[in-house]
Amino acid sequence: MTDKIQALINQLTLEEKAALSIGATPWQTLPVERLGLAPIIVSDGPHGVRRAVDPTALITESFPATCFPVAVALASTWNKELIYELGQALADECIVLDVDVLLGPGINIKRSPLCGRNFEYFSEDPLLAGELSASLIQGVQSKGVGTSLKHYAVNNQETLRFTINAVVDERTLREIYLAGFEIAVKQGKPWTVMCAYNRVNGDFCSEHSYLLTTILRDQWGYEGFVVSDWGAVRNRIAALRAGLDLQMPGPVPHSLQAVINAVKDGTLDESILNRTVDRLLKVILRAKETPKGHGTIDIDAHHGLAQRIASESIVLLKNDNNLLPLTGNETLAVIGQAATEPVYQGGGSSHIKATRVDKPLDLLQNRAELRYVVGDGYAFEVNQNHIDEAVTVAQSADAALLFIALPARIESEGYDRRDLNLTPHQTALIQAVAAVQPRTVVILNNGSAIDMRPWIDTVPAVLEAWLPGQAGAGAVIDVLYGTVNPSGKLTETFPLRLSDTPAYLNFPGENGEVRYGEGIFVGYRGYEARNLDVLFPFGHGLSYTQFDYSSLRVSNRFFTIDETLEVTVEITNSGQCAGQETVQLYIHDAASRLQRPPKELKAFAKVALEPGQSKRVAFTLDSRAFSYYDPAYGRWLAEAGDFEILAGSSSAAIHLRETVTLTSGTPLPSRLNLESTIGDWLDDAHGAALVQPLVQLMGGGNESASAGDALGVDMLTFFRDLPLTVMLNFQADALNVTPEQMVASMLEQVRIAAAH
């Protein structure tokens, strides 16, 4: 605690300290004028600044701001530098709009494509979500504006989001649902973290001391403050104790009174309140070092940046016979309401009042001779008239552009999707147009995977344009005409069917509880482990040029747990135009004590290459890259043995592989105890030698195959699950001590051997 903060805390009254820990308004902290303490203003977030015109009102008009591409699009760029640049631009707008903390990024794992809020999240992969969001955080905060990493944690659905209890095992929690937060916290150092609404293993996140204090602060070293999601606090005292610093929105008179009373009657130690005030003041004073509320937004420059990001985010899913890019000489049938009324962002708290919005049809007017029909009119039920009109224009043009956007009433904050389908009308429309026009391009606007089986085989080209922000139209057109070579890649798997998705049987739960039964097998980890074909794999995205992968090199084939491994791969642009490729590095653990997914992403890099150019891309893998979280030891550990290093252009397209050997794993204490089985003893580095003679004695050795024959079993396998003490009981008459005494003395020998 600095002297200045200590002095402030000393001067604040109990009432003021309690009031500081609760919003003074829905978007502001408490000002304490007599001490010169200004309030900070927080604002949604995340892909633009939704600054309330009246910050004393919860739901109100917001000032115009640039609507940048939403998180799913941002992530699809796989471009950390670009995301950092976006962070800086967001901060510039925060400074103009007088915002101290931007409420984002949101990085919850896309456990199921049905989650209504997937558009606001980065990926099904925690490393990717963590690394990309850390860049965003660093970009924003480099300018003296804070961020709020949200929603911590295990908030992977909208159904019953205020109450649902997510039941998740420790390993899955650490490896899948917390790993991204861990990276973002350690690398990005967000000024604030926002706790989620839901419960995790029984406790509300707002009252979860294991999440908010043990893991976040004690294990990850987090130093900022924790803010509640809006309305997530139930019991203010329990939340304070657990490590929840700021309750939002405010004011909440009954919470305020409860805190004051609890300190006065001794049920809440004042030092806990002081600790919270200390954390709040650190961020408040830091925020106030950067003056805000002046200048103007550079609308044109930020619109341009929004377009640049959008154009890197578009994923060319399919491009048969190089239908794209267009030549520029075609007459075009333009079909779909999204061409005139684009769906460029999602619904809910992230909704930005854009400074302007480009429309595909307007921009296409200058590029080609067009015939436009509304086509879908965002209708749900099949409208044959619209389809007939679309077929007529499609037949009369050289190519058809179908602009298909999933209506916001299907995908939004606040509720989940029921299926992966487009509307029945949209499906029928695509089928009808593709049947008459072989040069059909489908351009999609949606926030998460959709089922394309009814039409994908008949449509030669598909652009996944996501919710691309206010300048998305220009980005789509740049990609259609090849002004921009597409380089976006999927950060989530597009499955063939909903029933293939790993969480299918456990989503969204029942009786107020959702069981994360698929464990660590989320996204590509799950599809690959079950050998399921998918529509488009994680990491997939085409280009107008060709990239060749060659000469994977590792710094050493054999390495120890204390060494890092350098991996390099050569990438060559062997096609005709400049482009960017995202190289993905996965590892595969050849054998491990606990189940591991066939592949885990461990590093990635995006490189720009001129035609004919080659670059060597370098990655560094440390011991964590080879580790899993073992709940039995309560820690990350790596086992000695072989690992494959896989370099690819998607999780399914692995071009190069190399085996490396970890010669020494994480040193671990013996876990043998009185209940340990013969198998446990045989697997223990020091226990095996001690138990081997006893096993021989019991007929588990080679020379006593006859004992096995007598029972018709393989004796060693038969014994593996037998506790050593139980086995010794069968021989009790040959022992001069009890089995427990004997095992106790063996345990002591193991302890001594391990200490040397």
**Helix, strand or coil, per DSSP, at residue 602:** strand
Compute the distance between CA of residue 157 and CA of residue 418 in angstroms, rounded to an integer.
Answer: 12
Of 42 and 399, nearer to ligand BGC (C-beta) is 42
Task: Compute φ and ψ for 58, nearest 5 degrees.
Answer: -70, -55
Query: How many Cβ atoms sit within 10 Å of the Cβ of residue 498?
Result: 18
Of 100 and 358, nearer to ligand BGC (C-beta) is 100
Of 42 and 262, nearer to ligand BGC (C-beta) is 42
Number of H helices, E strands in the chain: 23, 27
Name the residue number minimizing CB distance to ligand BGC. 349
Of 103 and 473, nearer to ligand BGC (C-beta) is 103
Instruction: Write each residue from 29 to 68 as x if it is in contact with ligand BGC (CB under 6 A), else as -, in one continuous string.
Output: ---------------xx-----------------------
- The residue whose two tokens read 């090849």 is 482
Restricted to residues 86-125, the positions that interact with ligand BGC (CB under 6 A) are: 103
Restricted to residues 479-508, the positions that interact with ligand BGC (CB under 6 A) are: none
The dihedral through the CA atoms of 170, 171, 176, 178 has a sign that is positive
Task: Compute φ and ψ for 676, nearest 5 degrees.
Answer: -60, 145
Does residue 230 touch ligand BGC according to CB under 6 A? yes
Query: How many Cβ atoms sit within 10 Å of the Cβ of residue 588?
Result: 18
Of 414 and 631, nearer to ligand BGC (C-beta) is 414
Give the relative orientation of helices 270-288 and 3-11 as an angle to the nearest 10 degrees. Answer: 120
Does residue 317 touch ligand BGC according to CB under 6 A? no
The dihedral through the CA atoms of 239, 242, 247, 248 has a sign that is negative
Least distance between ligand BGC and beta carbon 106 (Å): 6
Of 116 and 526, nearer to ligand BGC (C-beta) is 116
Of 22 and 691, nearer to ligand BGC (C-beta) is 22
Restricted to residues 653-712, the positions that interact with ligand BGC (CB under 6 A) are: none
What is the C-alpha radius of gyration for the chain, rounded to an integer number of angstroms?
Answer: 29
Triad 609, 612, 616: Cα angle to 5°? 55
Least distance between ligand BGC and beta carbon 751 (Å): 50
Instruction: Write each residue from 179 to 218 as x if it is in contact with ligand BGC (CB under 6 A), else as -, in one continuous string.
Output: ----------------------------------------
Query: How many Cβ atoms sit within 10 Å of the Cβ of residue 684?
Result: 20
Nearest Cα residue to 402 out of 455, 327, 329: 455
Least distance between ligand BGC and beta carbon 748 (Å): 54
Beta-bridge mates of residue 32: 37
Query: How many Cβ atoms sit within 10 Å of the Cβ of residue 107?
Result: 30
Restricted to residues 522-561, the positions that interact with ligand BGC (CB under 6 A) are: none
Least distance between ligand BGC and beta carbon 230 (Å): 4
Compute the distance between CA of residue 739 and CA of residue 741 in angstroms, rounded to an integer.
Answer: 5
Of 141 and 349, nearer to ligand BGC (C-beta) is 349
Of 104 and 472, nearer to ligand BGC (C-beta) is 104
Compute the distance between CA of residue 310 and CA of residue 591 in angstroms, rounded to an integer.
Answer: 41
Q: Are 304 and 465 in contact (CB under 8 A)?
A: no
- Binder to ligand BGC among 349, 491, 580, 725 (CB under 6 A)? 349
Of 349 and 580, nearer to ligand BGC (C-beta) is 349
Compute the distance between CA of residue 457 and CA of residue 418 in angstroms, rounded to an integer.
Answer: 24
Compute the distance between CA of residue 433 and CA of residue 740 in angstroms, rounded to an integer.
Answer: 78
Instruction: Tell me which DSSP letter residue 69 carries.
Output: P
Least distance between ligand BGC and beta carbon 50 (Å): 8
Restricted to residues 599-618, the positions that interact with ligand BGC (CB under 6 A) are: none
- Binder to ligand BGC among 158, 182, 229, 581 (CB under 6 A)? 229
Of 44 and 376, nearer to ligand BGC (C-beta) is 44
Instruction: Write each residue from 619 to 658 as x if it is in contact with ligand BGC (CB under 6 A), else as -, in one continuous string.
Output: ----------------------------------------
**Helix, strand or coil, per DSSP, at residue 683:** helix
Beta-carbon contacts of residue 418 (< 8 Å; ≥ 6 apart): 114
Of 195 and 698, nearer to ligand BGC (C-beta) is 195
SS (H, E, C) 266-323: CCCCHHHHHHHHHHHHHHHHHHHCCCCCCCCCCHHHHHHHHHHHHHHHCEEEEEHHHC
- Binder to ligand BGC among 47, 150, 236, 686 (CB under 6 A)? 150
Least distance between ligand BGC and beta carbon 44 (Å): 5
Q: Catalytic: which of 44, 92, 125, 229? A: 229
Tell me the site size for ligand BGC, rule CB under 6 A.
7
Residue type, 436: V
- The residue whose two tokens read 């460029």 is 344
Does residue 133 touch ligand BGC according to CB under 6 A? no
**Helix, strand or coil, per DSSP, at residue 53:** coil
Least distance between ligand BGC and beta carbon 229 (Å): 5
Least distance between ligand BGC and beta carbon 45 (Å): 5
Least distance between ligand BGC and beta carbon 226 (Å): 14
Least distance between ligand BGC and beta carbon 210 (Å): 22
Of 97 and 678, nearer to ligand BGC (C-beta) is 97
Least distance between ligand BGC and beta carbon 249 (Å): 8
Least distance between ligand BGC and beta carbon 64 (Å): 18
Compute the distance between CA of residue 206 and CA of residue 192 in angstroms, rounded to an integer.
Answer: 14
Compute the distance between CA of residue 551 and CA of residue 24 in angstroms, rounded to an integer.
Answer: 60
Residue 398 designated active-site: no
Query: How many Cβ atoms sit within 10 Å of the Cβ of residue 419?
Result: 12
Q: What kind and span of H or E run contains 692?
A: helix 687-697
**Sequence-ordered alpha helix ranges (H) in 197-250:** 209, 236-242
Least distance between ligand BGC and beta carbon 625 (Å): 31
Residue type, 671: R
Could you please report the per-residue DSSP string of 442-506? EEEE-SS----TTTGGG-SEEEE--S--TTHHHHHHHHHHTSS------SS-EESSGGGSTTGGG
The dihedral through the CA atoms of 23, 24, 27, 28 has a sign that is negative
- Binding interface with ligand BGC (CB under 6 A): 44-45, 103, 150, 229-230, 349
**Looking at the annotation, which residues are catalytic?**
229
